[in-house]
Amino acid sequence: MSSVPAAALPAPTPWRDKLNGVLFVALMAGAVVQLADLPAIRAMGLSPLVVGIVCGMLYGNFLRGTMPADWGAGVNFTARRLLRIAVAFYGLNISIQQIVAVGLPGLAVSVAVVVGTLVIGAVVGQRLLGLDRDTALLTSAGSAICGAAAVLAFEPTLRAAPHKSAVAVATVVLFGTVSMFLYPVLYHAGWLPFDTQALGIYIGGTIHEVAQVVGAASNIDPATTEVATIVKMTRVALLVPVLLVLGLWLRSAARRSGETDQGANRLPVPWFAVGFLVFAIINSLQVLPADLVNAIRRLDVFALTMAMTALGIETRFAQIRKAGPRVLALGLVLYVWLLLGGYGLVMAVA
């Protein structure tokens, strides 16, 4: 009596495991977007990116065992490669017209805030608080430029560990949320004696996330909201030159220390920063239909949410606790600088 051998199941392949991991993160990101759209979450000014890293961290620390280990390759791909692509497409959110619209005062405040925050953060973080270079720069970038999106852009350039990005984003959430509620209170109490233009420059030039800027300014009036949003996007536009300078500095530091790098002869600005600039120019030229641009922007937010969720999954609470108090201290120092230094800058140019 002969027996027919059972058909063997196809063996898992690396690309299939990676795809499963990416799809798993996409499923989580879909739930995150719905969660971030709840009125209570929107009222707090929390973007899908921030909600994504929080949900990812909760899953990664409490439910990680429910995900097949082989899917980790897809999670890592999302947190690295997809992240870079999404940052490039983020350039469609800004235009040269926006930068021109804020005028010289708005541009001057934006540049001073970005440069000052990065320098103060690097010096205070490393020399006074004893933080490592990557954590200090990631935290400074989140406060200086555009919150979680800036942290995402700096992370691959620095080749930083995921938990360092997570603690940097935590400062964005904490102090940016405080700003969203504090600024309108200060204005209505008469402590911000600015006209509409100057107030918009102050809010857009000193609050961390775009959503937090809109949340704060919308509690004042629509005209202030418009100015604040444009100034905030001017800070976002500074991401490319900052990454270029960062790349030059990292390459110079590596040469001084005698380190070798396979990419030592390449242009020190990362390719996704070049892509960011290209898409910003495309948006400025208005060569794409508005509906298409809006669709790409929504898709890009989803991709960034996926990247943040993946970073959260790869982050461990134990790593955050190790540097937590010092990172919060740096975030507080930078927040005081943004409040008081930004006030002085606006008073000087207004």
Question: Burial of 132 by CB count in 10 Å (0-12 exposed, 13-18 middle, 19+ buried)?
Answer: middle
Q: Is residue 111, in this structure, part of any structural domain at all?
A: yes
- Which residue, among 169, 189, 150, 182, has the nearest Cα to 50 in the 3D structure? 169
Q: Is residue 262, in this structure, part of any structural domain at all?
A: no
What DSSP string describes 112-155? Answer: HHHHHHHHHHHHIIIIIS---HHHHHHHHHIIIIITHHHHHHHH
Q: Is residue 79, in this structure, part of any structural domain at all?
A: yes
Chunk the chain into consecutive blocks of 10 residues (it has 350) and report each block's average pLDDT, rounded to whole numbers.
Answer: 50 77 95 92 78 88 84 88 86 85 90 97 95 94 88 85 85 84 91 94 92 83 87 88 88 73 52 84 93 94 89 78 84 97 93
Total domains in the chain come to 1
| pLDDT computed for residue 260 by the predictor | 53
Q: Is residue 7, in this structure, part of any structural domain at all?
A: no
Q: Is residue 260, in this structure, part of any structural domain at all?
A: no
Query: Who's near 240: CB < 8 A, 6+ residues apart?
Result: 269, 273, 274, 276, 277, 280
Dig out the tokens for 206 from the structure: 């000193």
Say how far apart CA 155 and CA 135 lie, in whole Å: 10
Count of CB atoms situated within 10 Å of the CB of 293? 17
The residue assigned the tokens 């500095």 is 249
Q: Is residue 61, in this structure, part of any structural domain at all?
A: yes
Q: Which helix (DSSP H) or strand (DSSP E) does residue 342 occupy? A: helix 342-349
Task: Give the domain range for residue 215.
Answer: 17-255+267-348
Full-model pTM: 0.76
Dig out the tokens for 261 from the structure: 């790098």
| pLDDT computed for residue 325 by the predictor | 87
Say how far apart CA 59 and CA 37 lie, in whole Å: 20
Say how far apart CA 192 and CA 184 lie, in whole Å: 9
Q: Is residue 327, in this structure, part of any structural domain at all?
A: yes
Q: Is residue 180, in this structure, part of any structural domain at all?
A: yes
The CA distances from residue 93 to 30, 35, 145, 276, in Å, are 21, 23, 14, 10
| pLDDT computed for residue 87 by the predictor | 81
The CA distances from residue 287 to 275, 280, 283, 291, 333, in Å, are 16, 11, 7, 12, 43
Dig out the tokens for 106 from the structure: 């708005």
